[in-house]
Structure 1
Amino acid sequence: METSKLAIIGSGPTALYILQHILSNAEAFLKQFYQISIFEKNAKMGYGMPYNPDFTDVYNIANISSEEIPELPQTLAEWLRAQDRDYLKTLNVTKFPIKDSEVYSRISLGEYFRAQFNILIESLKHHGFSIDEHTSTKVTDIKPISTTVAEVITATKRYRFHNILIATGHHWNPDHSTSSNYFDSLWPIFKLFNPDDRYYNFEIGILGASLSAIDVVTSLAHRHGKFSHYQNQLSYQLHPKAKGFKIVLHDVNGWLPHLQYEQVHPFREIYRYTTREALLALKTDHQNLFIETYFNNVCKPALLKALKKDELHDVVTLLNTKDFGFKQFIDTMAEKHEYINSFEGMRKELDLADTLLQKNKPVHWMETLDDLMYSLNFHTELFSAEDHLFFHTDVKPFLMNVIAALPLKSAQLLLALYDANCIELVSGKVEIETKSDTGIQIKICDSHDGVETKTYPLFINSSGNDDVTFDDFPFETLRKEGTISMAKAAYDHAAHTRKTHNTSNESTVTEEGELYLKLGGIAIDNTYRCLDDDGKPSQIIQDLAFNHIYGHRPYSYGLQACNATSCIVINALLDIELHDAQPIGIEIITKTYETKDDL
């Protein structure tokens, strides 16, 4: 049986930033870990699922530019400029010169990540690390052997490690539908294409209108017609054999993502608008941090400055009102961004966004709120159950729609399709009623209690949810032996909250007379160590996979979160003070957030 020190499960962006932060601390890290083993279930290391050419399409556009990607050996723009133009064309990079502020294809980002991965591996070897790369190797289980050693189990071998970092990234189960006309995820996206290269000449239903849904739109649209530019306008011409082709997006609120905006600081920071001490001082005697307290003490002052810069004086007046809380702010700003016709609203927003980008004029309040919620995300274990519910039902949907960053070129594609009558957006909650080879029947319930049924020959669930429930956690032994536990939060006023939020028995659990809300996923501490049934942190296993830890980290998205999470974990591994089997107070653990590295 092989013995090693550190295992990394997964080789996508989170693993990439783990390696980057190990390299930044190579001298100190080498004293603790002489060997690093990386396990990847796919044939090649370094891509990450959203950027892997086996999953994503050449027409899918990344939603991040070079200047927004945290530090790696090269920037994306530098790497692209160094490539042969014929090679870049195969990655659908056709616009030159290469710009730091431009967004490029998803697969070009994947090739860039793979190149950076290889550079980091070679640099770590040069520093004296022994690196084992296990490709086409799926980890099927993890089994603790003692308090300091655990086994990583694959189909053919067992490996022993002193520390294991789970960085598996996105996870999509295979479709289990009984109908060939329904897909419960869009990945890999190639499965959605007509296998005989025939055209879809009917309406296609898509659940969701987020960035992943737009990936489906762009892939299918390019295969059923042609986009062309004329006098700086993009238009779409449907192929004659695709007559009848149309995409219908279904979103509960009838919202399309809002657009990429200019920023003062392209990188988020955990403590940009507050300090660790000031934030922790807001805790109650029961160790809660209430969202409304955070909003009043931290968010309001920062947002007032931002809104004044944006000249949104009406909102400034409201925000200065004593009883104007977070919910009122969300409703006010959402109303400003709601349109009777979302596509026409997008057209107006595109004109404004293009003007602001040309003038390098930021949208201060959006950037500020994103920073504030990024900071809050790393402290949500202090939430009561009530605040977790509020965050998930009100705050998060607002952030995911209004603070979204849809590239302007994606918006141009959507509007070209809209002008060609090839796309539509329907608001209302969707329920799948029947699935059969003759069609997928759905029920649409609108906000006015109206109900409509509709049948699609093809229906795709692009809601973008790949969260892994506690019962479906992929490493079964950890769950069965109690090495991991379910993420949960105590109610502050249990009896009142149960009635107010209409929580069900399935979403709550009672322990020692205390009522808890099940948050989903697994419990972790601030350094991502898995917490066992007794609340004690594992000395071996840290889980950085966002779809495993979404209960305690509900707003962890994108490469900057991958970078911050990896930095926190590596700093924690190097901090002897944290090598303890007992729970450590948040005052000590959050010191790992204050590093010289950009989090």
Structure 2
Amino acid sequence: MKKIAIIGSGPTGIYTFYSLLKTKIPLAVSVFEQADEAGVGMPYSDDENARFMLANIASIEIPPLFITYLDWLRRQDQAYLARFKVDKASLHDRQFLPRLLLGEYFRDGFLTLVKEAKTQGFEVNVHESARVTDIDAAPEGVMLSVNGKPHPARFDRVVVATGHVWPDEDEATRSFFPSPWSGLMDARIPACRVGIMGTSLSGLDAAMAVVMQHGHFADQQFILDKGSEALRIVLMSRTGILPEADFYCPIPYEPLSILTESAVESEIAKGADGLLDRVFALMVKELELADPEWCQAISLHDLNADNLLEAWYEDRKRHGPFTWAEENLKEVERNKRERRTVAWRYAVLRLHDVVSEIVPALNERDRARFQAGLARVFIDNYAAIPPQSIRRLLALREAGIVSVAALGDDYDMDIGSGQTVITHHGHTLRFDVFIDARGQKPLKTKDLPFPTLRKQLMETGDDIPDVSADYTLRSPESIRGRIAFGAIPWLMHDHPFVQGIIECAEIGDAIAKGVHQPAAGARRKLPWVEG
């Protein structure tokens, strides 16, 4: 019986275990989780979130663990759901619900998974409060160090599913937080000037973590506590543009007609020179087929991979962040009531996955062009946020608490012991408390927290871990097939849109297939929706 170790029991680790179970081939599986409760995942744990924070994914999109998220919710008592301010009678599959509740679903699914695996003849060991501190891979197997001490077992394959990596809490001070997950949830923030770098959902959640200490929402208004009148929050980004509200569209996604996976494979086969521009030309044809009026309105035929971003944001810049947010929210809510799909938005949403397949094949120049242009268009489109988050933001703006600043690309930030000062275009912003909420940054081999494995990989000369179709490390040759590398921050270089629960499920499925097969070939897309 093969011995498998899974490091991390967040979504990637859970879906890997679930996919291993579906192969029906018994294994000895050991799960190592550094938190004190396995099967939740940092993005959904009560240590890092509050009950008012919403998950940015609805039940209809979440790959099921035995049962769908919606069916699991419907099995819960009304009193239990009420703790999260969820009404059982109004549940539906396109609803955005608290992250903590999604964490409860994953925890319950994980416990069911452990029980079912044992029933099917698996040997299962779950190690909680068990931080893996080193990985030592050799041809005869892989050894782990846990909490600084050697673990007695030797494994045939180790799955690295450690998820996001944020700065340690000891890097935070009372006036500076290097991420929203570095002690902010437990910190007491006074009514002062607060700066938040980032205008995505993470930035909005950071703002919520602060304002909920100084008031409450009632009837779509925010009521500030007496004595907290000095609270002011500035959300900042290069563009000063707010995310749009999540929009209605058919799920599972309808197939593309022109820029299909086979079309992308054909373009990749022609070589790196001109690849980005060739694929952009096919993308234009796909969009013109889907929504010719929108394409004409933005003069898409005259645009290229470098300036589409400017046209994409043009209306929002002209209207201002809050005016646009208010109008966009009305449009989205109307379309959801009428089950109406905006064709160009839906086409861009479906295009991001297939276009991302070209990234590993791009030359250095075109990869930089992609990151500066098309990647930002796609991220803005698929990272649309829950409408309730927009409503909350508008209420905070109406209360005079929140504003937005566009910094541009040229600004200076001075993090002092008492204040953070940002200078841009001749303006100076001073903050008593500053929160960096720009999200996960891609990491390199040198950032690996496992010293022995890091040394082995750095000796190969690879800046980032080189993985095959089943995510096993391709080099060094001596350990090929021993380690499956599903840690998202290290995959983001070649696969910039790899974040998210759906992607976690795809990674888990690929890893599970590879456990019983030799690793080979280039990465491929693995759709989770059957049929």
Q: Using a 3 Å threshold, how does the CA distance of structure 1 residues 55 and 235 change in structure 2: closer, same or farther?
A: same
Asked if structure 2 preserves the Cα contact closer than 8 Å seen for 1:522 and 1:551, the reply is no
5 Å-filtered alignment, 1:176-255, equals 176-177=170-171, 179-188=173-182, 190-191=184-185, 193-194=187-188, 200-229=190-219, 234-255=220-241
5 Å-filtered alignment, 1:535-550, equals 538-550=480-492
- Alpha-carbon distance in structure 2 between the residues aligned to 1:38 and 1:417: 43
- Alpha-carbon distance in structure 2 between the residues aligned to 1:462 and 1:265: 30
Asked if structure 2 preserves the Cα contact closer than 8 Å seen for 1:68 and 1:267, the reply is no
1:347 matched to which residue of 2?
Answer: 326
- Alpha-carbon distance in structure 1 between the residues aligned to 2:257 and 2:456: 40
Give aligned pairs, total: 527
CA RMSD of aligned residues (A): 2.7
Report the residue type matching 2:268 in the other structure: K
2:452 matched to which residue of 1?
Answer: 477
- Alpha-carbon distance in structure 2 between the residues aligned to 1:65 and 1:268: 18
Q: Find 1:409's aligned residue among 388, 409, 427.
A: 388
Question: Is 2:424 aligned against 1:431?
Answer: no
- Alpha-carbon distance in structure 1 between the residues aligned to 2:172 and 2:526: 51
Question: Is 2:61 aligned against 1:68?
Answer: yes
Asked if structure 1 preserves the Cα contact closer than 8 Å seen for 2:306 and 2:372, the reply is no
- Alpha-carbon distance in structure 2 between the residues aligned to 1:283 and 1:379: 7
- Alpha-carbon distance in structure 2 between the residues aligned to 1:96 and 1:595: 32
Question: Is 2:341 aligned against 1:357?
Answer: no
SS at match of 1:522: coil
- 1:97 shift after superposition: 2.3
1:18 matched to which residue of 2?
Answer: 16
Report the residue type matching 2:287 in the other structure: L
- Alpha-carbon distance in structure 1 between the residues aligned to 2:460 and 2:241: 36
Asked if structure 1 preserves the Cα contact closer than 8 Å seen for 2:486 and 2:507, the reply is yes
1:307 matched to which residue of 2?
Answer: 291
- 1:370 shift after superposition: 2.4
Long gaps (5+) in structure 1:
489-520
Q: Using a 3 Å threshold, how does the CA distance of structure 1 residues 223 and 393 change in structure 2: closer, same or farther?
A: same
1:556-583 deviation digits (Å, cap 9, x = unpaired): 12111111122222223333xx44xxxx
1:103 matched to which residue of 2?
Answer: 96
Report the residue type matching 1:414 in the other structure: L
- 1:481 shift after superposition: 2.2
- 1:341 shift after superposition: 1.9
1:19-71 deviation digits (Å, cap 9, x = unpaired): 22223222xx33xxx21111100111111101001111111111111111112
Question: Is 2:145 aligned against 1:153?
Answer: yes
Asked if structure 2 preserves the Cα contact closer than 8 Å seen for 1:54 and 1:188, the reply is no
- 1:484 shift after superposition: 7.5
- 1:542 shift after superposition: 1.4
2:31 matched to which residue of 1?
Answer: 38
| Mean CA deviation greater in 392-401 or 113-122 | 392-401
1:430-481 deviation digits (Å, cap 9, x = unpaired): 5321411x322222x2xxxx13222211111111125433222111211212
1:68-119 deviation digits (Å, cap 9, x = unpaired): 1112212122111211222222233247422211111110010011111111
SS at match of 2:217: strand
- 1:357 shift after superposition: 0.8
SS at match of 2:329: helix
5 Å-filtered alignment, 1:135-146, equals 135-146=128-139
Q: Find 2:471's aligned residue among 513, 528, 537.
A: 528
SS at match of 2:149: coil
SS at match of 2:268: coil
- Alpha-carbon distance in structure 2 between the residues aligned to 1:485 and 1:367: 42
Asked if structure 2 preserves the Cα contact closer than 8 Å seen for 1:139 and 1:152, the reply is yes
SS at match of 2:121: coil
- 1:540 shift after superposition: 0.7
Q: Using a 3 Å threshold, how does the CA distance of structure 1 residues 176 and 245 change in structure 2: closer, same or farther?
A: same
- Alpha-carbon distance in structure 2 between the residues aligned to 1:95 and 1:253: 40
Asked if structure 2 preserves the Cα contact closer than 8 Å seen for 1:267 and 1:560, the reply is no
5 Å-filtered alignment, 1:263-278, equals 263-266=249-252, 276-278=261-263
Q: Using a 3 Å threshold, how does the CA distance of structure 1 residues 595 and 210 change in structure 2: closer, same or farther?
A: closer
Question: Is 2:264 aligned against 1:279?
Answer: yes
1:309-329 deviation digits (Å, cap 9, x = unpaired): xx425248x34x4x6433343
Asked if structure 2 preserves the Cα contact closer than 8 Å seen for 1:483 and 1:531, the reply is no
Asked if structure 2 preserves the Cα contact closer than 8 Å seen for 1:208 and 1:251, the reply is yes
5 Å-filtered alignment, 1:424-503, equals 424-429=403-408, 430-436=411-417, 438-443=418-423, 445=424, 450-482=425-457
- 1:139 shift after superposition: 0.4
Question: Is 2:107 aligned against 1:114?
Answer: yes
| Mean CA deviation greater in 558-567 or 87-96 | 87-96
- 1:138 shift after superposition: 0.4
5 Å-filtered alignment, 1:532-571, equals 532=475, 538-571=480-513
1:278-307 deviation digits (Å, cap 9, x = unpaired): 33221355566822222223x233222222
Asked if structure 2 preserves the Cα contact closer than 8 Å seen for 1:470 and 1:486, the reply is no
Asked if structure 2 preserves the Cα contact closer than 8 Å seen for 1:532 and 1:538, the reply is yes
Q: TM-score, normalised on structure 1?
A: 0.82
SS at match of 2:504: helix
- 1:339 shift after superposition: 3.9
- 1:240 shift after superposition: 0.9
1:514-533 deviation digits (Å, cap 9, x = unpaired): xxxxxxx4332333222436
SS at match of 1:254: coil
Asked if structure 1 preserves the Cα contact closer than 8 Å seen for 2:8 and 2:31, the reply is yes
- 1:361 shift after superposition: 0.7
Long gaps (5+) in structure 2:
none
Q: Using a 3 Å threshold, how does the CA distance of structure 1 residues 272 and 44 change in structure 2: closer, same or farther?
A: farther
Asked if structure 2 preserves the Cα contact closer than 8 Å seen for 1:254 and 1:342, the reply is yes
- 1:171 shift after superposition: 1.6
- Alpha-carbon distance in structure 2 between the residues aligned to 1:415 and 1:356: 20
Q: Using a 3 Å threshold, how does the CA distance of structure 1 residues 90 and 55 change in structure 2: closer, same or farther?
A: same
- Alpha-carbon distance in structure 1 between the residues aligned to 2:435 and 2:88: 31
- 1:205 shift after superposition: 0.8
Question: Is 2:51 aligned against 1:58?
Answer: yes
1:495 matched to which residue of 2?
Answer: none
1:331 matched to which residue of 2?
Answer: 310
- 1:425 shift after superposition: 0.4
Question: Is 2:3 aligned against 1:9?
Answer: no
Asked if structure 2 preserves the Cα contact closer than 8 Å seen for 1:483 and 1:538, the reply is no
Asked if structure 2 preserves the Cα contact closer than 8 Å seen for 1:172 and 1:466, the reply is no
SS at match of 1:113: helix
SS at match of 1:454: strand
SS at match of 1:121: helix
Q: Using a 3 Å threshold, how does the CA distance of structure 1 residues 81 and 339 change in structure 2: closer, same or farther?
A: farther
Asked if structure 2 preserves the Cα contact closer than 8 Å seen for 1:46 and 1:113, the reply is yes
SS at match of 2:347: helix
SS at match of 2:64: coil
Q: Find 1:292's aligned residue among 267, 277, 289.
A: 277
